[in-house]
Amino acid sequence: MTPYEKGEAARLLPWNGPEGKPCYLIGDDTGPVSRVADATEAVQLAMGAELLTYTRGMLTNSTHEPELRYLTERLAESLGDALRIAESRGARLRG
């Protein structure tokens, strides 16, 4: 059962634990772990924006299959990051 399901104030962090399971921060959003999470989310969102710009450029040019495969893998990672950030922020807004 996740902290959300228990009714605890928790933040889904933008990384997984060593076993690949989600990490949660219990408590307020003022400590050092929250600041690291905020910075990580900012980097992840900026990388997603860069990938989107790069993708639009690639789609207007002829590209080779390996480039498209690499780009697709990065876009999938970025989308996963963005969805995780959205889930975390949505849960905090619902409080």
pLDDT at 68: 83
Report how many domains make up the chain. Answer: 1
pLDDT at 6 over 70: no
pLDDT at 89: 83
Distance between CA atoms of residues 80 and 93, nearest Å: 20
Full residue range of the structural domain in which residue 52 is found:
3-94
Tokens standing for residue 85:
């950030």
Buried (b) or exposed (e) across 70-86, using 16+ Cβ within 10 A?
ebeebeeebeebbebbe
Which amino acid is it at 75? L
**What pTM was estimated for this model as a whole?**
0.71
CA distances (Å), origin 22, targets 8, 47, 50, 84: 15, 21, 26, 10
For 28-74, the pLDDT digits (tens) are 778 899 999 999 999 999 999 888 888 887 777 776 778 888 888 88
